Amino acid sequence: GAGVSQSPSNKVTEKGKDVELRCDPISGHTALYWYRQSLGQGLEFLIYFQGNSAPDKSGLPSDRFSAERTGGSVSTLTIQRTQQEDSAVYLCASSLEIQEKLFFGSGTQLSVL
Partner 1 sequence: QKEVEQDPGPLSVPEGAIVSLNCTYSNSAFQYFMWYRQYSRKGPELLMYTYSSGNKEDGRFTAQVDKSSKYISLFIRDSQPSDSATYLCAMKSNNAGNMLTFGGGTRLMVKP
Query: Distance (Å, rounded) from C-alpha 72 to C-alpha 50?
Result: 9
Tell me, by CB under 8 A, how many residues bind partner 1.
27
Scan residues 51-70 and list those touching partner 1 (CB under 8 A): 56, 58-59
Contact between 23 and partner 1 per CB under 8 A: no
User: What's the closest the beta carbon of residue 45 comes to partner 1, in angstroms?
Assistant: 5
Residue among 74 and 104 whose Cβ is closer to partner 1: 104
| Cβ–Cβ < 8 Å for 78, 20 | yes
User: What's the closest the beta carbon of residue 56 comes to partner 1, in angstroms?
Assistant: 7
Contact between 33 and partner 1 per CB under 8 A: yes
The neighbour count for residue 29, using CB atoms within 10 Å, is: 18
User: What's the closest the beta carbon of residue 16 comes to partner 1, in angstroms?
Assistant: 27
3-state class (DSSP) for residue 86: helix
- Strand 19-24 to strand 43-50: parallel, antiparallel, or no bridges (unpaired)? unpaired
3-state class (DSSP) for residue 110: strand
Contact between 104 and partner 1 per CB under 8 A: yes
Measured over the CA atoms of residue 82, residue 83, residue 88 and residue 90, the dihedral's sign is negative
Residues that bind partner 1 (CB under 8 A): 4, 31, 33, 35, 40-45, 48, 50, 56, 58-59, 91, 93, 95, 98-102, 104-107
